[in-house]
Amino acid sequence: MHRATTGRTLGLAVGLATALAGTGAQAQTAEVLHYWTSGGEARAVAALQEEFEAAGGTWVDAPVAGGGGDAQATVLRSRVLAGDPPTAVQIKGPNIHDWAAEGVLANLDAVAAEAGWDDILPPLLRDIVTYDDQYVAVPVNIHRVNWLWINPEVLAEVGAEVPTTWDEFNATADALLEAGITPLAHGGQPWQDATVFETVVLGLGGPDFYRQALVELDADALTSDTMIAVFDQMRRITGYVDPNFPGRDWNLATGMVMNGEAAMQIMGDWAKGEFAASELTPDEDYLCVPTPGTSGFVLNSDSFAFFEVEGDDRVAGQDLLAGLILGESFQETFNLFKGSIPARTDLDRSAFDACAVRSMEDLDSAVAEGSLVPSMAHEIAIGRAPRGAFLDVVTQHFNSDMSSQEAVELLLEEVELAM
Ligand code: GAL
């Protein structure tokens, strides 16, 4: 059964496929390309696989190691160019629109209508997963990027309080250094450097400056005194990581905070998936607080998109998978494992921990106050090319003695080349 361009009647497709699947007549197969290979990530994607298989689907796992997704994006591009796209792929932000513009993504309107996505998705997510007013992807979660993860016992060793400004962060880090403790666990990879960078932009410049610099790519903002101050702070931060930070995977840095090798980590709340996988409890074994200076919300959201593929079994597998992802029970199970909060806004909050509830509450207030901003580091704010310019310059600066003035000049040059 080939997909009609106007979308399919989900009821018939899934009903028929599910009914027939029981007789083995119509397989429902999905090869799923993703990069969720850490402890917490793997638990979360396993929950999706289990739900899909319980509904009669055949899951073909296609993981690509490498947090942040840059390695997976390369694999995806080569497979599509080779005419061999995966059935489903974990994808985000403007990348979804880029692929939709190529006309290679399946239209999910029938699935969306059947499941009432218009009623359960917040507008900010609907904008990400629709193109030309058609659903071309399904969001699975909302991650918050601007979190500081803290081992309270390590902080107590120097009698430090939880830092709420970058000056307090620096003073706490200096005290930790003095005591021979690594202040900040960090993995030296471009996307991780950019994760820290964007939280400093928000903390020092505020949401309006963040949007001017990282969304609108405004030349004055990119070369402003505020951006100079951001790179000054990034230089301070380079003094707070351990000598073995280059190339370290993000989840190993999270492990350093867990076992007390370091006091803090700046990372999105997929890090909470690691704490949860180790059965650690927020506000007891670890603290989750907004990164210094931010009361806003740097949003990242993972989605699945479905490429136009041949084969009735794969088309049926896409219908089944797309129809499961926003289901209430799945949304709870998956996000508890992943460390994120549900994509759908109508879920009961009682199963979620203190960090998740804080994320939900802070998201609501950020929307109300206008301090909700899209993550640049995690491919929500801007396209691949300008994001690449930021990652290049921020990582070059982090790993050299480049001055802040040189950094902002290089940043403007590279961003303008990428636009
Ligand atoms: C992000 C992704 C998250 C998380 C993280 C680390 O870009 O959206 O789901 O997995 O990378 O791999």
Q: Do strands 297-300 and 372-374 pair parallel, antiparallel, or not at all (unpaired)?
A: parallel
C-alpha neighbours within 13 Å on the C-beta side of residue 309: 25
CA–CA distance, 134 with 28 (Å, rounded to integer)? 24
Distance 10 CA to ligand 1 centre (A): 30
Is 3.20.20.150 the CATH number for 10-141+301-350? no
Please give the Cα distance from 381 to 412 (Å, whole number): 17
The amino acid occupying position 390 is F
Q: From the CA of 252, how far away is ligand 1's center (Å)?
A: 14
**b/e per residue 221-250 (b: at least 16 CB within 10 A):** bbbbebbebbbebbbebbebbeeebeebbb
Q: Tell how far the Cα of 73 is from the centroid of ligand 1, in angstroms.
A: 12
For 48, residues 6+ apart whose C-beta sits below 8 A from its C-beta are 32, 140, 321, 324, 325, 330, 334
Per-residue model confidence (pLDDT) at position 4: 38
Residue 204 φ/ψ, nearest 5 degrees: -90, -30
Positive or negative, the Cα torsion across 194, 200, 205, 206?
A: positive
Residue 337 beta carbon below 6 angstroms from any ligand 1 atom: no
Which residue's CA lies nearest to atom 8 of ligand 1? 302
334 Cβ closer than 6 Å to some ligand 1 atom: no
Buried b (16+ CB within 10 A) or exposed e, 152-174: eebbeebebeebbebeebbebbb
Mutational test site, ligand 1, from 300, 301, 338, max ligand atoms within 8 Å of CB: 300
In whole angstroms, give the CA distance from residue 345 to residue 354: 17
Query: Is residue 128 within 8 Å of residue 134, measured between CB atoms?
Result: no
Rounded CA separation 86/61 (Å): 10
- Of ligand 1's listed atoms, the one at least distance from the Cα of 35 is 12
Distance from the CA of 393 to the center of ligand 1, in angstroms?
Answer: 21
CA of 70 to the centre of ligand 1 (A): 10
Give the ligand 1 atom nearest the CA of 67.
12
Superfamily of domain 147-299+355-418: Periplasmic binding protein-like II (3.40.190.10)
Q: Write down the pLDDT at residue 345.
A: 87
Distance linking the first and last C-alpha atoms of the chain: 41
Q: What is the pLDDT of residue 15?
A: 52
Q: How far apart are CA 304 and CA 354, in angstroms?
A: 27
Residue 294's pLDDT is: 76
Spatial CA neighbour of 268 closest among 93, 142, 91, 144? 144
Locate 257 and state its tokens. 């905070």
The closest-lying atom of ligand 1 relative to the alpha carbon of residue 141 is 9
* Domain spans, the chain: 10-141+301-350, 147-299+355-418
Q: Give the per-residue pLDDT at 5.
A: 41
Q: What number does the ligand 1 atom closest to the CA of 38 have?
A: 12
Strand order across the beta sheet in which 372-374 lies: 341-342, 141-144, 297-300, 372-374
Residues of the chain with pLDDT under 70: 1-25
Q: Is the CB of 203 under 6 A from ligand 1?
A: no
Pocket flag, ligand 1, residue 313 (CB < 6 Å): no
Atom of ligand 1 nearest to the CA of 302: 8
The protein residue with its alpha carbon nearest to ligand 1, atom 1, reads: 68
pLDDT at 11: 47
Ligand 1 touching residue 72 (CB < 6 A): no
Helix 270-277 and helix 39-54, axial crossing angle in degrees, nearest 10: 90
Ligand 1 neighbour 374 (Cβ under 6 A): no
Instruction: Calculate the alpha carbon distances from 89 to 79, 127, 252 in Å.
Output: 11, 19, 25
Mutate to test the pocket of ligand 1, among 141, 251, 378, 391 (most ligand atoms within 8 A of CB): 378
Q: Ligand 1 pocket test: pick from 34, 143, 266 the residue with the most ligand atoms within 8 Å of its Cβ.
A: 143
